[in-house]
Structure 1
Amino acid sequence: MIVVTGATGHLGKLVVEGLLEKLPADQVVAAVRSPEKAADLAERGVEVRRADYTDSDSLVAALKGADKVLLVSSSEVGQRAAQHQAVVEAAKQAGVRHLVYTSAPQATTSKLVLAPEHKATEELIEASGLPATILRNNWYNENYADTIKQAAQTGSFVGSAGDGRVASAARADYAAAAVAVLTGEGHEGKVYELAGDVTWTNADLAAEIGKATGREITYVDLPSDEHVKALTGAGLPESVAGFLAAIDADIKAGLLAETTDDLRTLIGRPSTPIGVTVAGIVG
């Protein structure tokens, strides 16, 4: 039995869909914070269990009888390590034979703003003694969905990443990699650095949006503090604006630029180019 946490989230839902293409529904469990949001999965024969990362008892119940567990990292930045620890402890209590975790690029050595919580989680998993696979997911193409839509409407977008390159891939690519690990053999003890095959800059993104819309799109690169001002001026909370500018600073420093063969090897095909995602969003 395979349990997928965060199974109604963007990534978790795609993983469940992928598992259902390979396994009978009664072998898949969707562990979710709000079971009512997984009614469509329940209708298809998937067992839905309540699992709240802040409620240890719910996690113990959700992972009971699990052979394999995919721990999709929490979206609550700043709370992740404690929440993930609760899942790891529940997995150990359940006697899980294989834990798979979605981490961040070069998590144990990177200066990426997101890395520390993932590093802490990887260390918790190692200390638990559970057989595990670490999927270090690079950036998702879909992280730029709002930027792509806004640029398509206005003809420009701003950032502070300079000429920094991103080795992103589509969310579905990372989900397919997780499915391959969960349904395959010999992945225990492995750390996979998952990234897109082709890197790109914000100028490249502008060109792809222009190609999809048939109009000229410009990228305006700003100093980091001006980027924050632009984002708060557009209505984003200061904490969110600061976080987005910090990510751009990391991109400018090359922290999301490394590409490897791991993703395409696991999924058996090339990763999805940013241009394909842009075309799908712009329509």
Structure 2
Amino acid sequence: MILVTGATGQLGNLIVNNLIKRGTPANQIVAAVRSPEKAQALADQGVVVRKADYSDPASLDAAFDGVKRVMLVSSSEVGQRFPQHKNVIHAAQQAGVELLAYTSIMRAQESPLALAEEHIQTEKALIASGMPFVLLRNGWYSENYTGSIGMALEHGAVLGSAGEGKYATATRQDYAEAAAVVITADNQAGKIYELAGDQAFTLAEYAAAISEVTGKTVVYQDLPAEEYTNILVGTGLPEGFAGILADSDVGASKGALYSDSKDLSTLIGRPTTPIVDSIKAAL
């Protein structure tokens, strides 16, 4: 059985559906979720739904019963991720899991991003565990930007602090396909995949792509990190999270979110989704 954590989340849900699409029987997939009532659509497909809370070790131990492979989708609770991930790793050890795949962050061990810290801690914990594991170091999701395309069109500007830094993004679907391939493949233990989109872009190029697709003028406005943080807070984001987003842009300006690796397109057997296609999908 293959267990996917966070199976009602945006990435986890796509991974489950890609496993089914690739031929894994639904009754051999465990959707580990905090709120089983939110997983009815998966249950209707025959997926085994089990309650599993990252912060509740007892629930994890029960959910992992009979599981041989685990897809650990990183927690969305920044600041709580590492202790939550440690609980999952321990539960996997207790269950005698034969492979754990973890969604980390691009070039984790050298990344200057504040977001990378808990990924680095988790990778070290996996090494220390002695358990067979594989790392899926995901780059930025294209949806991180296309999700706010309406605001860019309304104001005629994309805001950020990335300068000329390039983003090698891909869609969640691209990353989910890769995860489904890896967790079902043989001889994956010890492998590290740097997952990046084939076509990188600067935020100025992203703004230009929006203009090209919509016919409306959209420009990129580069801001000091503090000013960008304040603007994000003004839109309703918590100050801590706004600061993390601005820090990520600054990191991107130093190359932290760019990679020329072709691991992602190789795994999924096709080119990654171009940002122009993601813009069209968002519109």
Q: TM-score range by the shorter chain?
A: over 0.9
Instruction: Tell me how far 1:251 sits from its aligned partner.
Output: 0.7
Instruction: Tell me how far 1:49 sits from its aligned partner.
Output: 0.2
Partner residue, 1:10: 10
Calculate the aligned-residue CA RMSD, in Å. 1.1
Partner residue, 1:199: 200
Instruction: Tell me how far 1:146 sits from its aligned partner.
Output: 3.4
Partner residue, 1:253: 254
Q: How do 1:18-167 residues align onto structure 2 when only pairs under 5 Å count?
A: 18-21=18-21, 22-167=23-168
Q: How do 1:223-262 residues align onto structure 2 when only pairs under 5 Å count?
A: 223-262=224-263
Instruction: Tell me how far 1:186 sits from its aligned partner.
Output: 1.6
What fraction of aligned residue pairs are identical, expressed as a percent? Answer: 52
Q: Once the two structures are superposed, what CA deviation does each residue of 1:32-76 show, in whole Å capped at 9, x if it has no partner?
A: 010000001111111100010000000001111101000000011
Gaps of 5+ in 1: none
Instruction: Tell me how far 1:158 sits from its aligned partner.
Output: 1.4
Say which is worse superposed, 75-84 or 208-217, in terms of deviation: 208-217
Q: Once the two structures are superposed, what CA deviation does each residue of 1:246-274 show, in whole Å capped at 9, x if it has no partner?
A: 11111111111112011111111111111
Instruction: Tell me how far 1:11 sits from its aligned partner.
Output: 0.4
Supply the distance in 2 between the matched residues of 1:234 and 1:93 (Cα, whole angstroms).
Answer: 44
Give the count of matched residue pairs. 282
Asked whether the equivalents of residues 98 and 132 of structure 2 are also in contact (C-alpha less than 8 Å), the reply is yes
Instruction: Tell me how far 1:233 sits from its aligned partner.
Output: 2.6
- The 3-state SS of whatever aligns with 1:108 is helix
Q: Kindly provide the amino acid, as one letter, of the partner of residue 219 in structure 2.
A: T
Asked whether the equivalents of residues 147 and 157 of structure 1 are also in contact (C-alpha less than 8 Å), the reply is no
Say which is worse superposed, 224-233 or 101-110, in terms of deviation: 224-233
- The 3-state SS of whatever aligns with 1:166 is coil
Q: Kindly provide the amino acid, as one letter, of the partner of residue 7 in structure 1.
A: A
Normalising by structure 2, what TM-score? 0.97
Asked whether the equivalents of residues 115 and 244 of structure 2 are also in contact (C-alpha less than 8 Å), the reply is no
Instruction: Tell me how far 1:237 sits from its aligned partner.
Output: 2.5
Instruction: Tell me how far 1:149 sits from its aligned partner.
Output: 1.9
Normalising by structure 1, what TM-score? 0.97
Q: Once the two structures are superposed, what CA deviation does each residue of 1:121-172 show, in whole Å capped at 9, x if it has no partner?
A: 0111111111111000010001113331211233212111111101111111
Supply the distance in 2 between the matched residues of 1:2 and 1:240 (Cα, whole angstroms).
Answer: 32
